[in-house]
Amino acid sequence: MSENAQEMKGRAKKAAGELTDDKELKREGQIDQAGARAKDTVDDVADKAKDGLDKLAGKTERAGHGG
């Protein structure tokens, strides 16, 4: 499930829990939302790490061929 879909699912559960005074459903919604945010953060960090490694690999290649 994508982060956006999980976030929307969480919002819906939380809202439904608030409307029906169902504390467990509201909590589930909050957990879904937190999970979506955490996954998004991990994806961002992974992308930045990959970009950094790609840049490092490019510099290493240029240094090796510069002779």
Instruction: Encode the chain (67 residues) as per-residue pLDDT tens digits.
Output: 788 999 999 999 999 999 999 999 999 999 999 999 999 999 999 999 999 999 988 877 777 665 4
Output the pTM of the full model: 0.70
**What burial class does residue 29 get, using C-beta atoms within 10 Å of its C-beta: 0-12 exposed, 13-18 middle, 19+ buried?**
buried
What pLDDT score does 60 carry?
74
Separation between Cα atoms, residue 10 and residue 26, nearest integer Å: 9
- Residue whose token pair is 């996954």: 39
What pLDDT score does 66 carry?
53
Residue ranges covered by each domain of the chain = 3-65
Q: Which two tokens stand for residue 5?
A: 């879909």
What DSSP line would sit under 30-59, residue for residue?
A: HHHHHHHHHHHHHHHHHHHHHHHHHHHHHH
